[in-house]
Structure 1
Amino acid sequence: MAQSDAPPVLKQRHPTHLPSDTSSTVLHDVDDDTLSHTEEKKPLLTNKPLPTRHLLKAAPTWLYYIGFLTLLFAAAFQAHYTLPAPVSELYNPTTGQAQFAEGNVRRIVKHMSEQIGYRIVGTEQDLETQTYLLAEIKSLEKQAEMQALRGVDGLPKFETWVQVADGSHQFDFMSKAVMKMYTNMTNIIVRLSCGPECDKNAILLNGHYDTTLGSPGAVDDALPIGVMLEIIRIMSQRPAPKMNSVIFLFNGGEESLQDASHSFITNHELKDKVKAVINLEGCGTAGPEILFQANSRPMVEAYGRVPYPHGTVMGNDLFATGVILSDTDFRQFVEYGKLTGLDMAVYKNSYLYHTHLDVEEHTEQGLPQHMGENTLALTTYLADNISLEDLDKTSSVVYFDVFGLFFVMYSMKAATIAHIALGLLALWTVVIGASRPTFRSVGSVFCSCIAALLMPIITASGLQMLGSSMVWFTHEWYSLVIFGPLSAFGIFLVQYVAHDSKASHGANELSTLSGIQMLYTIALVLGTSVGLASSYFLAMYSLFASIALIYNHQRAQARSHGSGAQNVATATVAYGTYFVASALQTPYFTYLAFSLLDLVVPLTGRTGVDAPVDNVMAVITGFGIFSFSPAIMALAHRFGHKVLKRILVGLAVAQLAILLISSATLPVYDIMHPKRVLIQHLRNLTSGESLLHVAHADPGPILPYVAEVEAIFNAKATFRSGSQHPDDWNSVYPFSQFLDSYVVDTTTYIRAHTTNKTIANSDKPLTELIEDAPKLVAENIQYDSLTGIRSMTVLCTHPNYIWTVSSFDANVVSWSLNIPVPSKEKFHYVVRNAGGYRSDGWRLDLSYHVEDAAVGAEDRLRVELTAMETEGFGKDTERELKGSGDIGVLRQIVKTRPNYVTLTYFSSVVSTFHL
């Protein structure tokens, strides 16, 4: 590393016999920003602790800097969460032109999420939604016609399609292979164009109108539907697109594992016209919409023209790792349509995502305006200005917004050149003496980083021992308070140990600041070498550290000139250097950190009961504390061991107090940050059991709620492991792999509450009284004794049931699914079927190897069939036994739900067939 410079030229009143290496001289270099004019001229040649007056000077030094950081934090908060003012007028009062109006979007969202409600594929609400959307589209077409009648020329051609199709595709998710079938899957399509010339190429805007099982889906995904309808209203009353048509896909089956988007991109007549896609999604209810996936440089460049840019390639890289257990229709368009495009979503406050609380009133004011104006600007630009032919498909592009004010985008090649330049800049600062890293200082910074990440795990362990896991869950910033002190303790502890008592405080400061620069520069080189686009983040840290060191070097030279020395820099750090180092780096990281916390903290509520969420949040918080202002590690050396020791004691005491207070006072959940509980009333037609399964989606407390369920049904719950009973939750496969159950037998409850005396007094299983249960039959059975292959046609009928799931083990040779058989060996197959309203059956042709040739044609295929009832889903009802009276099991569950719990509930039946 860099060698120390020669000592400064001192005035004659100081001793003349000085060591030649200032790194071994203990100089208390508290610079002219901290000490008086007289004191700044007197380096103190002593190894003794600082005098009391110098200790007192430490307090304002720290306070000023912490105050500055607090202001930067507040500025980043304001930039991150500010949304545009909502607009209510449909037309600009000055120009008379149609403008994007949040009020109009909210009208649509409110109707879909509250008047229609839970829009599950296959239910009556599914059909009602289609009728509503077609009526809205027809109204928009008439409005455009009225504009034409008023003499407005050049309006776009307005076309509408309704697609109803069957199909199949393989959906790999959560390390599981799911074979998807769909029947009567419905899409509604609108195209705006200038005619044949524009029709050659199209931009596709996609949003889904269906909802998942537990939610009325205001933001997921009625909001994008409302945004798309509003854009149709505006664009249909403006001059037609100049270069490309715009296709709006209102798809009817995303929550059933992306069936409708697959249907469009593989079957519809317009599929080959589409060259780029903008997918709109929602997994939160507040904050700005974010660009979180992109695979095309021209599309990213186009996004840079939106009025409120918000997105970073770091989200792209994070999503690609698979850590985020979510997926969108964007996958289908890329995989089957080979499209380039953008994936945009609402993500903040995802506590309400896929819950009964995702309603219009919880959608933040300004959010629809933000998403709408961005999408309108992006769509208009693409339609008028971009050639969609041969769009390059690449992930080698760096992009990020700067506080939502403007957007930066450049190629990975340009990034590599820039990063090389930053590396050379760092080396240059070493050559001129501005940077003085040592192996000790670089190592201490690295160890501080590790300590910052790992030390908070001690706090996480403490929470778990106190039975207070996840007490940080109700507010994203709680994790900073709960885990932050011990993370900072780890940082300063390493610096305390690494402080070189043989060198001056100033030398310690400068070498540590230089170590920060070197560590980030080394990390930058490594990230760039593997083509990591997110390495731009490391580049910022390397750059700002170099700038700060150059600033400090200039200040040191100025002081040397003032004292009569020529071009000599002392081993000190000017106080202003810390402000320079943090001025841009800290607010930008804070801006990004808000996004990370907004995404991750609510996500811990749905990652499974075995996820080590306390440890995860401890490590993430540690990363945030370390990255917030790394220069603070250098500042920690400014007043020596004694001040550092006091800081460590203060942090340790604060951490202990916070741990005890938070574990004793903070609730894990509340009304707006609820615990996710899954309820399934499962009737097994083969075994005769009628069981209520209660599962949860996080490692937080569940037993208090289980006790409430036991009291409702006057029955004791038994624990049932998901690993030992993997088919219990087949209705929601592959999510089922995370679900352990507490199971309550509801038979006694049903018999006690029925008005039908036959049911009450009968010893027969209640499941025998269920009518129109789903059935499987095999037809056209054939067996080839030479090949050992058995073939059949499997027919399923499921009147008034939806979302059937068939599971079986077989060595499949061929089938009628439009999917390659995934294995040449015996394999566990799970085939999920979803269909539109009144899709009451399906067919599957199947051939498989018989295991035992002696059995031959009698080697029957064992299939377990699960189907979901159409009742429930927000209406608090379920199918009951004929003449049984008011015995609804789910009705009681919903009625007695505590306010800290949100339910995903449904009734299923399961049967075993030997075909």
Structure 2
Amino acid sequence: MSLLSPRWGLRRSLLAIGPVLLIAPLLALKQHYSLPEPEISLFDARTGLPQISEARILGYAKYLSEDIGYRTVGTYEHALADDWMVEQAEAAKRHCESVVKASGRRLECEVWRQQGSGTHRFDMMSKRLYKSYQNLTNIIVRLSDGTPEGKAHALLLNSHLDSTLPSPGAADDAISVGIMLDCIRVLVDTPGWSPAHAVVFLFNHAEESLQDGSHLFSTQHPIAHTVRAVINLEAAGTTGRELLFQATSEEMVEAYSHVPRPFGTIFANDVFNSGVLLSDTDFRQFEEYLDVPGLDIAIVGNSYLYHMRKDLVENIEAGVAQNMGENTLALIRHLTAAGSALPTLKAGFAHKRMHMVYFGLMGRFFIYRFSTAKVLYGALFAGALALARGHAVGAGVRAVGTGILGSMLVPNLVALVMQRGLGKGMSWFAGGHFAAIGLYAPATLLGAMVSQLLVPATDEKAVFAAIVLLQAAAAFGIQLLNIGSAAAFFISGLPLFASLLLNNVALTTRRGEVSLWAYTLGQFLPLLTGTLIMVPTVEVFVPLTGRLGDVPADNIVASLIAFLGAQALPLAVPFAHRFGRQTLRRMVLVLAALTLANMALYARRDVFDAMHQKRLFVLHLENVTTHEHHLHIASADGAPGFHELVHDIMTEFAGLQTAIEPVVMDDYNSDWDSLYPFSAFLSPYKIELPKDASYASPWIAEGTGFSLEAVDDVTDLVAGTRSLTVKINHPGLIWTVIAFDAHVLQWNLDKNPPAEFARHHVKEASFYKADAWTLELVVRLPASGERGIGFNFIGLQEKAMWPAKRAVKEQGGPAMVLFERLDAWLDEKTGGTVDALLMGCVAGTAVV
């Protein structure tokens, strides 16, 4: 009989193993939230060598995000950021040249300001979408040894200068701009440093407008063909270690293993590549047009502030910039050194599937190939089969299978009751990711326990052996499909196998007995790794799921926590069979009481607060065709209270008391084409606004108005086609969009338009004061012979975006007058729990 034997009761057993198991999540959380001390000085006081300085990086980020401000593509502020970046690049070049002159080092610094126009296809959310851009810019700095050989193979570092519509973009992506500038300083100031292979720093100026800047560089810059690999720096949050969430070659993963504090897993890579996140970065353009491998790295903690007004330097956690900067610098040094794999990374790598497993664990970074994984996982599966012999594994598998179903079903029932029964959906949102875990983790454990009352009493060891067998089978079977995330089951299954084997050999003397040491040893690593996987996953998914529109957010979050929780606590089910049915019933009653108490507590919580805000999308739209003004309001979450808020806004600002219903959101709702195709997530309302009789629209005056016209218009009745160039004039407007229905045979967008009559959306984003663009078309005439093509068009007023244009609000017309009042009213009405995107739009229709 073992020291910690089955004769011990539930309470004594939990007291014995609880403290040991508590260490596992605490260790995981300590590792996850560990950040370096921020450095203020530019040089290390001990060595005299240059070092990454968080203070300097945040200084750059603050200047971009607060002194310049909202850098939306096409705005005056966007142009100011362009001028500033050119100054920084030229200053870095002058400093480099002075260092070279003084030291004689083999180092050359070159600067380009690229400006160009182009088009590209950008499919998103299963929608075919096209982009057109005019006169956009990039600023490029190249460091090399000055020789043709040293410039032949280059590493590309990328960040973007622009910010998105409602955000000043301190983290997204000004912090990355600052990191790249500081890396240039450190490299240039490091005595004797000379790269064997060039490093190209691309400060691209149009990511948020659907990756136009990276497309411009990849397709038009004269040194783009020298790029062999890319490192893309991004942010979707403001706290924690940056996450390697996408890697596309084994050589680049191996390079990443050399950074001081690696944080990346094959699990994140598989999740991102699955398309579940509905997110994208400039990395996509480099893959598609340069065909090179690379690493996509982003700050992801506290993504509640992603694309929000509070993406400010004051909300960036201390140590974030230091961590990302030091890791980035290490990657540059490794990949540009003599003997690196960079020259071997020829074109074509980007579209090859990577066959490597990688993950970080307690400061160590593990890498092994899929072939090795299949051998390891296969051996574990064979061992699990051997270990299961002589046990009633069939009964154990039934118990485990029932436990899995129960652990998924009960939290989903809780989610349904919270959302549909109590009308308290998303009650976890304001509390952060730990609040979501707090609500659904007890329900998950309740489901696992109550399900065991539905199966016959089963031998505890048989259930334990079944867990080992199922984990090993999952690892081996999933890896045979070349899915690297199978490692999660291997990491869990291996200690379970080892603990059961040790139990049989050394920990017990009676057949069928399971020592508490087996539970302690077997559960420790799954709980550690499960916590390391769950916390960052929930950090990303909880804020994201709360902004996916009218979806069952509670059920999505409940399912995610249930699945990850069951994987983190695989021995909960055999433990349920350890003490007999009576004790199991008591466990169920305690967990049921805890779950019900949880539901009552969460039902009293507010969904949003000042740091976990509701996103509200508001358009003031002037239709130049009908001369009507409307207020369009939409939400991207299913939280309760939105309909009532819209009604209050309608009453306060339109003076209406009638009932209001949401309008249909589809491809033909062109009022929201500025946000297409993300607009599919929105639940919109439309409110007619009273119009000032003295208002004279500046958007209909000849020569200065918003207009579409056809030029070079030729109809071929014999061929049944019409060739034309549509010219879109939009002085004072940015981010224009046209939508039309036609059977397009040819156009200047790509070589394969849909081979049928279809709806088309073309979006534009251009540099400040670039006020016209064209679309060349050859269309098939319809059977009716009608030549005219109906266009919906819309654009954003460059001076009517609140609060970005607060300083020039007098120039924003009726939209800014309304937005100033509405923003103050919302802040008071909701207690600061709403972050509203307020945009003045001009739209209309035309037949050309």
* Aligned partner of residue 710 in structure 1, secondary structure: helix
Q: In the alignment, which residue of structure 2 is the partner of 1:256?
A: 209
Distance 1:152 1:60, change over 3 A: farther
The letter of the residue matching 1:543 is L
User: Structure 1 CA distance, aligned partners of 2:619 and 2:807?
Assistant: 11
Matches within 5 A, 1:474-623: 474=430, 475-500=432-457, 508-556=459-507, 560=509, 570-608=511-549, 610-623=550-563
1:265 maps onto 2:218 in alignment: yes
Q: Please tell me whether the aligned partners of residues 790 and 847 of structure 2 are also in contact (alpha carbons under 8 angstroms).
A: yes
The letter of the residue matching 2:385 is L
Post-superposition offset of 1:274: 0.4
User: Structure 2 CA distance, aligned partners of 1:378 and 1:519?
Assistant: 39
Q: TM-score w.r.t. structure 2 length?
A: 0.94
- Runs of 5+ consecutive residues of structure 1 not aligned to the other structure: 1-29, 41-53, 502-507, 561-568, 752-757
1:682 maps onto 2:634 in alignment: no
Which segment drifts farther, 674-683 or 399-408? 399-408
Post-superposition offset of 1:833: 0.9
User: Structure 2 CA distance, aligned partners of 1:288 and 1:551?
Assistant: 37
Match of 1:794 among 726, 738, 745: 726
* Aligned partner of residue 94 in structure 1, secondary structure: coil
Q: Please tell me whether the aligned partners of residues 461 and 514 of structure 2 are also in contact (alpha carbons under 8 angstroms).
A: yes
Q: In the alignment, which residue of structure 1 is the partner of 2:60?
A: 108
Distance 1:212 1:873, change over 3 A: farther
CA RMSD in angstroms, aligned pairs only: 2.2
Distance 1:202 1:403, change over 3 A: same
Post-superposition offset of 1:138: 2.4
Which segment drifts farther, 101-110 or 238-247? 238-247
Q: In the alignment, which residue of structure 1 is the partner of 2:423?
A: 467
Q: Please tell me whether the aligned partners of residues 812 and 846 of structure 1 are also in contact (alpha carbons under 8 angstroms).
A: yes
User: Structure 1 CA distance, aligned partners of 2:328 and 2:669?
Assistant: 42
Per-residue CA distance 1:483-522 (angstroms, 9 max, x = gap): 2222211111222333427xxxxxx221111010111122
Q: In the alignment, which residue of structure 1 is the partner of 2:184?
A: 232
Q: Please tell me whether the aligned partners of residues 38 and 322 of structure 2 are also in contact (alpha carbons under 8 angstroms).
A: yes
Per-residue CA distance 1:768-806 (angstroms, 9 max, x = gap): 689932111111211111111011121111111111101
Distance 1:417 1:575, change over 3 A: same
Which segment drifts farther, 894-903 or 202-211? 894-903
Per-residue CA distance 1:825-872 (angstroms, 9 max, x = gap): 1111101111011111012221101103644xxx11111111111012
Q: In the alignment, which residue of structure 1 is the partner of 2:672?
A: 729
Q: In the alignment, which residue of structure 1 is the partner of 2:117?
A: 166
1:829 maps onto 2:760 in alignment: yes
Distance 1:129 1:820, change over 3 A: same
Matches within 5 A, 1:336-375: 336-375=289-328
Match of 1:446 among 381, 396, 401: 401
* Aligned partner of residue 166 in structure 1, secondary structure: strand
The letter of the residue matching 1:489 is L
* Aligned partner of residue 278 in structure 1, secondary structure: strand
Which segment drifts farther, 69-78 or 188-197? 69-78
Which of the pair has more CA radius of gyration?
A: 1
Q: In the alignment, which residue of structure 2 is the partner of 1:3?
A: none
Q: In the alignment, which residue of structure 1 is the partner of 2:4?
A: 33
Q: Please tell me whether the aligned partners of residues 473 and 668 of structure 1 are also in contact (alpha carbons under 8 angstroms).
A: yes
Distance 1:546 1:889, change over 3 A: same
* Aligned partner of residue 772 in structure 1, secondary structure: coil
Q: In the alignment, which residue of structure 2 is the partner of 1:564?
A: none
May I ask how many residue pairs the two structures share in their alignment? Answer: 830
Distance 1:724 1:178, change over 3 A: closer
Matches within 5 A, 1:5-404: 31-34=2-5, 57-149=9-101, 151-154=102-105, 156-195=107-146, 196-238=148-190, 239-384=192-337, 385-391=339-345, 392-393=349-350, 394-403=352-361
Distance 1:153 1:551, change over 3 A: farther
1:778 maps onto 2:710 in alignment: yes
Match of 1:424 among 382, 388, 391: 382
Q: In the alignment, which residue of structure 2 is the partner of 1:809?
A: 741
Q: In the alignment, which residue of structure 1 is the partner of 2:823?
A: 894
User: Structure 2 CA distance, aligned partners of 1:745 and 1:906?
Assistant: 16
- Runs of 5+ consecutive residues of structure 2 not aligned to the other structure: none
* Aligned partner of residue 583 in structure 1, secondary structure: helix
Post-superposition offset of 1:885: 8.5
Q: Please tell me whether the aligned partners of residues 731 and 804 of structure 1 are also in contact (alpha carbons under 8 angstroms).
A: yes
The letter of the residue matching 2:377 is H
* Aligned partner of residue 427 in structure 2, secondary structure: coil
Q: Please tell me whether the aligned partners of residues 310 and 400 of structure 1 are also in contact (alpha carbons under 8 angstroms).
A: no
Q: Please tell me whether the aligned partners of residues 530 and 568 of structure 2 are also in contact (alpha carbons under 8 angstroms).
A: yes
Q: In the alignment, which residue of structure 2 is the partner of 1:904?
A: 837
User: Structure 2 CA distance, aligned partners of 1:490 and 1:85?
Assistant: 43
User: Structure 2 CA distance, aligned partners of 1:590 and 1:901?
Assistant: 31
Post-superposition offset of 1:428: 3.2
Distance 1:362 1:768, change over 3 A: same
Post-superposition offset of 1:807: 0.7
Q: Please tell me whether the aligned partners of residues 193 and 240 of structure 1 are also in contact (alpha carbons under 8 angstroms).
A: no
Q: In the alignment, which residue of structure 1 is the partner of 2:371?
A: 413
User: Structure 1 CA distance, aligned partners of 2:196 and 2:542?
Assistant: 43
Which segment drifts farther, 595-604 or 696-705? 696-705
Q: Please tell me whether the aligned partners of residues 534 and 561 of structure 2 are also in contact (alpha carbons under 8 angstroms).
A: no
Distance 1:698 1:845, change over 3 A: same
Distance 1:846 1:880, change over 3 A: farther
User: Structure 1 CA distance, aligned partners of 2:413 and 2:631?
Assistant: 38
* Aligned partner of residue 442 in structure 1, secondary structure: helix
User: Structure 2 CA distance, aligned partners of 1:885 and 1:849?
Assistant: 41
Q: TM-score w.r.t. structure 1 length?
A: 0.88
Which segment drifts farther, 808-817 or 304-313? 808-817
* Aligned partner of residue 408 in structure 1, secondary structure: strand
Post-superposition offset of 1:881: 10
* Aligned partner of residue 33 in structure 1, secondary structure: coil
Distance 1:211 1:881, change over 3 A: closer
* Aligned partner of residue 160 in structure 1, secondary structure: strand
Post-superposition offset of 1:887: 6.8
* Aligned partner of residue 904 in structure 1, secondary structure: strand
Q: Please tell me whether the aligned partners of residues 99 and 188 of structure 2 are also in contact (alpha carbons under 8 angstroms).
A: no
Post-superposition offset of 1:142: 3.0
1:744 maps onto 2:684 in alignment: no
Post-superposition offset of 1:767: 7.5
User: Structure 2 CA distance, aligned partners of 1:675 and 1:572?
Assistant: 53
Q: Please tell me whether the aligned partners of residues 777 and 794 of structure 1 are also in contact (alpha carbons under 8 angstroms).
A: yes
* Aligned partner of residue 691 in structure 1, secondary structure: strand
* Aligned partner of residue 826 in structure 2, secondary structure: coil
The letter of the residue matching 1:458 is L
The letter of the residue matching 2:383 is L
User: Structure 2 CA distance, aligned partners of 1:821 and 1:726?
Assistant: 25
Distance 1:371 1:554, change over 3 A: same
Per-residue CA distance 1:852-909 (angstroms, 9 max, x = gap): 3644xxx111111111110125335599999979971222222323200012221111
Q: In the alignment, which residue of structure 2 is the partner of 1:650?
A: 590
Post-superposition offset of 1:88: 0.7
Q: In the alignment, which residue of structure 2 is the partner of 1:563?
A: none
Distance 1:275 1:886, change over 3 A: closer
User: Structure 2 CA distance, aligned partners of 1:425 and 1:874?
Assistant: 63
1:638 maps onto 2:569 in alignment: no
Distance 1:886 1:476, change over 3 A: closer
Distance 1:881 1:902, change over 3 A: closer
